[in-house]
């Protein structure tokens, strides 16, 4: 098989990249290690920045998002002093859309199928070859046979544990990481959301988040120690703890019910540089991980796709190879801004094991500024809805 761009990883970033490149007339193949059902079963982010929503429109896959997504003009923060709201629309003139990553992936699959895209599921033992040459190639195994893909460029959209990042030698690759000393216990339930907008709660017992997927499907989280396991948390124990951490006026009226998914996710901030090595380009979680507090994971992957489509179309269609060298610097500038915001939100809203009374007072002072200072609200709103590409 020969294509212009081989895409490793069939999650939303790989599918979005393929969709946009194919619409520009560039041939692709997507190699995904898991089955399609497995990809669609992954429960992930649900808040889309303005830029991500615009990317969906550019890709021709926004119809269902426009119809079923929920536009949020703000968010609420809960502290020991009560509940207050940051109005995104008022502070920066933009909004976000609550639309689950699973829905995004379904829409992209449907669009790719309609275009006759080449998507290979259960592609095992993927390996990248000659990535620093002008003729890179990829091998994979399927149904007991080894297959080869010749290409001009390779996009590594295969996540934190994929093969793309390790293809870059450690002598070239720099990694920056902060691992947080807690995780998020999250549940999905077929219940009406606790509020019309997300609630981020700073509480002495730990952080909590009330989120949603749609009018009948809710997503809730509580901060837990990394030593906790899902088996330790019954549904009853989760609901009791969650309601302790959110405002009483919300806890007393919210609907609860059996969980349909329950998991614990560790939190980390991670960036690798460079994002380009020869003709290999890293995209999304292959290059960076953010704690979910700032809702940036999927959105950062989308901005990577934006910059990579820009570079690849210039190189392939306009014969401007110099554009490829701009991909990493452009993507990383936005990544580090989002990394700072996600770190700040995480530090502001969580209880750390070694947190002192001084640290607690600093958190409270910063939350008070957010509640009372317009400039602080503007800064948060601009970062939350997404900085421009």
- The packing angle between helices 327-349 and 297-317, to 10°, is 180
Cα–Cα distance, 240 to 263 (Å, whole number)? 17
Name the active-site residue from 99, 109, 200, 277: 200
Work out the number of other CB atoms within 10 angstroms of the CB of residue 12. 29
Long-range CB contacts (< 8 A, 24+ apart) of 128-135?
Answer: 128/8, 128/154, 128/156, 128/163, 128/164, 128/167, 128/280, 131/167, 131/277, 131/278, 131/279, 131/280, 132/277, 132/278, 132/279, 133/278, 133/279, 134/279
Cα–Cα distance, 370 to 85 (Å, whole number)? 9
Rg (CA), the chain: 21
Cα–Cα distance, 279 to 156 (Å, whole number)? 10
Please indicate whether residue 306 is annotated as part of the active site: no
For the record, the structure tokens of 381 come out as: 């709103």
Please indicate whether residue 292 is annotated as part of the active site: yes
Name the active-site residue from 288, 296, 306, 330: 296
Name the active-site residue from 72, 203, 276, 330: 72
Q: What is residue 80's DSSP assignment?
A: T
Name the active-site residue from 292, 306, 307, 350: 292
Name the active-site residue from 220, 277, 307, 384: 384
Please indicate whether residue 121 is annotated as part of the active site: no
Please list, residue by residue across 247-269, b when 16 or more beta carbons sit within 10 angstroms of its beta carbon and e when fewer do: beebbeebebeebeebebeebeb
3-state secondary structure of 322: helix
Q: Which residues are catalytic?
A: 72, 200, 292, 296, 384
């Amino acid at each position: 098989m020969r294509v212009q761009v081989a895409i490793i990883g069939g999650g939303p970033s790989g599918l979005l990249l393929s969709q946009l490149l194919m619409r520009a007339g560039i041939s692709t193949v997507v190699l995904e290690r898991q089955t399609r059902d497995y990809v669609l079963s992954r429960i992930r982010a649900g808040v889309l920045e303005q830029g991500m929503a615009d990317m969906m429109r550019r890709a021709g896959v926004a119809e269902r998002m426009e119809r079923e997504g929920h536009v949020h003009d703000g968010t609420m923060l809960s502290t020991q002093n009560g509940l207050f709201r940051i109005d995104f629309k008022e502070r920066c003139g933009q909004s976000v859309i609550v639309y689950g990553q699973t829905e995004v992936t379904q829409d992209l699959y449907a669009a790719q199928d309609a275009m006759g895209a080449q998507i290979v599921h259960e592609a095992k033992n993927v390996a990248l070859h000659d990535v620093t040459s002008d003729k890179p190639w990829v091998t994979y195994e399927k149904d007991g046979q080894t297959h080869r893909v010749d290409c001009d460029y390779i996009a590594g959209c295969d996540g934190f544990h994929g093969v793309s990042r390790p293809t870059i030698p450690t002598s070239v690759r720099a990694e920056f990481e902060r691992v947080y000393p807690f995780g998020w216990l999250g549940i999905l339930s077929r219940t009406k959301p606790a509020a019309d907008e997300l609630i981020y709660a700073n509480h002495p017992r730990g952080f909590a988040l009330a989120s949603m997927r749609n009018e009948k499907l809710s997503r809730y989280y509580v901060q837990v120690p990394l030593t906790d396991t899902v088996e330790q948390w019954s549904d009853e124990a989760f609901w009791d703890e969650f309601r302790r951490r959110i405002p009483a006026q919300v806890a007393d009226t919210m609907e609860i019910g059996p969980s349909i998914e329950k998991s614990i996710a560790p939190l980390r901030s991670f960036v690798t540089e460079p994002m380009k090595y020869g003709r290999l380009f890293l995209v999304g979680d292959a290059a960076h991980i953010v704690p979910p507090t700032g809702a940036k994971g999927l959105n950062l992957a989308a901005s990577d796709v934006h910059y990579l489509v820009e570079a690849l179309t210039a190189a392939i269609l306009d014969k401007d190879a110099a554009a490829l060298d701009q991909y990493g610097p452009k993507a990383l500038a936005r990544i580090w801004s989002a990394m700072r915001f996600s770190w700040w939100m995480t530090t502001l809203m969580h209880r750390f094991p070694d947190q002192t009374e001084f640290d607690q007072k600093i958190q409270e002072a910063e939350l008070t500024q957010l509640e009372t200072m317009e400039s602080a609200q503007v800064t948060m709103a601009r970062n939350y809805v997404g900085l421009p590409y």
